[in-house]
């Protein structure tokens, strides 16, 4: 089998998605997600101008060699644009392999290590009362694990809380919006949120929280300690993780489990964090972490250090990535949890898929390959629109982490 060509499909069914479609001489095609939120067209160019020409004529079964060809062969290594482009190719090739062999991709990765994939949903509210109601609503839908975020008194808007949409979608059309941040107000508020959640909902539900990179290690240590009575499943991205040594400080002070890595794009971004057992969950996604080939290795490395996976699955990863994530989640031994943020109706229409949700878990389905398709005629109805993630400033105007 040979690769005949590949095209990049950009669409915006409510938000932007970039999809790579690789076609073969046997009529089988494969899909890969190439979406990098707010920087979509950089990946399009990287694929179209630099990678796709080198794919023509290759054997799509050579996933390992092709991965290294684009990683080592570029000379320039890592970075979100490069790794998202490589990931898209890798996903599409595993999809082709599965289709050609007539098996779901999880069977090529070791088979089923479990029956289902535990997922967590996002509950948000403008205040504690609304968030408690939202968590309850998701619980009634069958979710066993729910991430809780709430508006912070004294701050007009914050990460994770929708302004006017039903579902939270941080990327906005036009130029980046700006929000204001106060660490003091946040730190005063969050323990009250989780106290209210446990008092109202009891102990059974898994509760998660995303700090979104906004604390220093000692502040994160304080928050983790204050949250201990409410035994969170995890506290996510407590600090920006470039300084991996900083996590030692958090670890020394709290037993609240830590999840990190949605902005990582290489195992090298997390190597020290895992080797020193400074984190509990690795959040790298298949689309931003270099594909199935790279993430299988990262997961196997994590397993040596008692680290489990908890892949990023926000709505800015397309259903193609969600499908790929579910195959890997089902196959690896050290799976922890999978994020599951719902896609809107137009996205569901654009990307028909075999995966489904039932009783708090997801299932990749048993179709050959990844089990996700794209309707190109539907995608064409939703052309690309420039959109950015917001930027965040402290109340005195200092630019801060978003």
Q: Does the annotation count 159 as an active-site position?
A: yes
Q: Does the annotation count 343 as an active-site position?
A: no
**Closer residue to Mg ion in complex, CB, 285/318:** 285
Reference 232, options 269, 190, 264, 263; nearest CA is 190
Contacts to Mg ion from residues 203-232, by CB under 5 A: 210
**Closer residue to Mg ion in complex, CB, 90/262:** 262
Binding site for ligand KDG (CB under 6 A): 37, 170, 210, 212, 262, 312, 314, 316, 339, 389
Instruction: Give the nearest distance from C-beta 286 to ligand KDG in angstroms.
Output: 14
Q: Which residue is nearest to Mg ion (CB)?
A: 210
CA–CA separation, 322 and 394 (whole Å): 34
97 binds, among ligand KDG, Mg ion, none (CB under 5 to 8 A by kind): none
Instruction: Give the nearest distance from C-beta 398 to ligand KDG in angstroms.
Output: 20
Residues 372/354, Cβ–Cβ less than 8 Å: yes
Instruction: Give the nearest distance from C-beta 260 to ligand KDG in angstroms.
Output: 11
Reference 354, options 330, 371, 331; nearest CA is 371
339 binds, among ligand KDG, Mg ion, none (CB under 5 to 8 A by kind): ligand KDG
Residues 290/67, Cβ–Cβ less than 8 Å: yes
Would the CA dihedral through 292, 84, 366, 319 be positive or negative?
A: positive
Which conformational region is residue 160 in: left (phi greater than 0), alpha (psi within -120 to 50 degrees), or beta?
left
**Closer residue to ligand KDG in complex, CB, 28/235:** 235
CA–CA separation, 82 and 317 (whole Å): 16
Reference 384, options 11, 14, 101; nearest CA is 11
> ∠ at Cα 37 (47, 233), nearest 5°?
125
Instruction: Give the nearest distance from C-beta 341 to Mg ion in angstroms.
Output: 10
Site residue total, Mg ion (CB under 5 A): 2
Instruction: Give the nearest distance from C-beta 402 to ligand KDG in angstroms.
Output: 8
**Closer residue to ligand KDG in complex, CB, 51/259:** 259
CA–CA separation, 191 and 193 (whole Å): 5
37 binds, among Mg ion, ligand KDG, none (CB under 5 to 8 A by kind): ligand KDG
Catalytic site residue from 212, 213, 312, 353: 212
Give burial (CB, 10 Å; 0-12/13-18/19+) of 255.
exposed
**Closer residue to ligand KDG in complex, CB, 37/158:** 37
Angle separating helix axes 217-227 and 183-201, nearest 10 degrees: 20
100 binds, among ligand KDG, Mg ion, none (CB under 5 to 8 A by kind): none
Contacts to Mg ion from residues 261-280, by CB under 5 A: 262
Where does this chain touch Mg ion (CB under 5 A) — which range of 5-13, 257-265, 295-303, 315-323?
257-265
170 binds, among Mg ion, ligand KDG, none (CB under 5 to 8 A by kind): ligand KDG
**Closer residue to ligand KDG in complex, CB, 214/312:** 312
Residues 271/84, Cβ–Cβ less than 8 Å: no
Catalytic site residue from 46, 106, 120, 159: 159
Residues 311/325, Cβ–Cβ less than 8 Å: yes
Length of the chain measured in residues: 402
Which positions touch Mg ion (CB under 5 A)?
210, 262
Which residues form the catalytic set?
A: 159, 212
């Amino acid at each position: 089998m040979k690769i005949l060509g590949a095209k990049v499909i950009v669409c915006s069914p409510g938000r932007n998605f970039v999809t790579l479609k690789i076609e073969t001489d046997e009529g089988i095609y494969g899909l890969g997600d190439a979406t990098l939120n707010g920087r979509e067209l950089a990946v399009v160019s990287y694929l179209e101008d630099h990678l796709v020409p080198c794919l023509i004529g290759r054997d799509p079964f050579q996933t390992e060699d092709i991965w290294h060809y684009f990683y080592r062969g570029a000379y320039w290594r890592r970075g979100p644009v490069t790794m998202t482009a490589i990931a898209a190719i890798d996903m599409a090739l595993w999809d082709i392999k599965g289709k050609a062999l007539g098996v779901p991709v999880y069977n090529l990765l070791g088979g089923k290590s479990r029956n289902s994939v535990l997922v967590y949903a996002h509950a948000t509210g403008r205040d504690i009362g609304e968030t408690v109601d939202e968590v309850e609503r998701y619980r009634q839908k069958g979710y066993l694990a729910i991430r809780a975020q709430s508006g912070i008194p004294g701050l007009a808007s914050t990460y994770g809380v929708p302004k006017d949409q039903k579902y939270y979608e941080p990327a906005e059309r036009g130029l980046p919006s700006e929000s204001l941040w106060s660490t003091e107000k946040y730190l005063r508020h969050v323990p009250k949120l989780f106290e209210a959640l446990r008092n109202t909902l009891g102990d059974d539900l898994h509760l998660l929280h995303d700090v979104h990179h906004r604390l220093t290690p000692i502040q994160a240590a304080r928050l983790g300690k204050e949250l201990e009575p409410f035994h969170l499943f995890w506290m996510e991205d407590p600090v920006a993780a470039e300084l991996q040594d900083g996590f030692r400080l958090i670890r020394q002070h709290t037993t609240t489990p830590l999840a990190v890595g949605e902005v990582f794009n290489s195992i090298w971004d997390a190597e020290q964090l895992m080797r020193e057992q400074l984190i509990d969950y690795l959040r790298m996604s298949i689309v931003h972490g270099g594909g199935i080939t790279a993430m299988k290795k990262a997961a196997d490395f994590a397993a040596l250090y008692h680290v489990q996976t908890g892949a990023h699955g926000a709505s800015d990863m397309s259903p193609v990535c969600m499908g790929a994530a579910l195959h890997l989640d089902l196959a690896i031994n050290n799976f922890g949890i999978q994020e599951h943020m719902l896609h809107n109706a137009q996205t569901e229409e654009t990307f028909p898929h075999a995966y489904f949700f039932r009783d708090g878990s997801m299932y990749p389905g048993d179709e050959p390959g990844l089990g996700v398709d794209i309707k190109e005629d539907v995608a064409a109805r939703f052309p690309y629109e420039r959109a950015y993630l917001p930027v965040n400033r402290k109340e005195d105007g200092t630019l801060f982490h978003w």
